[in-house]
Amino acid sequence: MTKLDDKPLDPSKVEQLGVNKFKFDLPVSKRTLEFKLMTHGTEKKIEHELKARKKIMKKTGVNEELTIRMRNMILSVDGNDDLKEIAHFVQKEFFAQDSRAFRKHVADIQPDIHMTFDFACDNCGHEKDDTKIPIDVNFFWPGA
């Protein structure tokens, strides 16, 4: 893991240095979102909201995690920053193709760690580029 490279934030994607605010034009609906990247504070807020809604989600069978995350990331839709309007957009008007494109865009621009490496077997010489490292709970606690 010490050989994994960092994926820094691309400064060309930042409108104003030091401000966690980005724009994205949705490919299908042609609407414009302003959004922020997740911070530790945002993650804690989402965790608290998910915990509070756990019983409701269990009862309905609907996992609202993605909706809650989107509501907390999106700062405005077409310049409208009203929280009720953002919630309405996320729940009722956010097309699946737009949502997927938005999530891919966020993943592409946010700082992270490249979770791939080039593999070469010392025994047989087999090589594979961009091998993904499956990091989940089982990586750190096998059999969990």
Is residue 70 a part of any domain in this protein?
Answer: yes
Is residue 121 a part of any domain in this protein?
Answer: no
| pLDDT score for 113 | 66
Is residue 122 a part of any domain in this protein?
Answer: no
Residue 69 belongs to domain spanning? 9-112
Beta bridge partners, 32, equal 25
Distance CA 71, CA 54 (A): 17
Is residue 13 a part of any domain in this protein?
Answer: yes
Assigned token pair, 79? 């310049």
List Cα–Cα distances, 40 to 37, 45, 77, 144, in angstroms: 10, 9, 23, 25
For residue 78, give the nearest of 17, 14, 36, 35 by alpha carbon: 35
| pLDDT score for 18 | 77
| Domains of the chain: total | 1
| pLDDT score for 109 | 84
Beta bridge partners, 77, equal 33, 80
Is residue 124 a part of any domain in this protein?
Answer: no
Is residue 139 a part of any domain in this protein?
Answer: no
Is residue 1 a part of any domain in this protein?
Answer: no
Q: Under a CB-based contact definition with an 8 Å cutoff, are residues 71 and 86 in contact?
A: yes
Q: State in Å, rounded, how far the first CA of the chain is from the last one.
A: 21
- Model pTM? 0.70
Is residue 28 a part of any domain in this protein?
Answer: yes
| pLDDT score for 3 | 67
pLDDT in tens, the chain (144 residues): 666 666 666 677 667 777 889 999 999 999 999 999 988 899 999 999 999 988 888 888 888 899 999 999 999 999 999 999 999 999 999 999 999 999 999 988 886 665 666 777 888 878 777 666 666 656 666 665
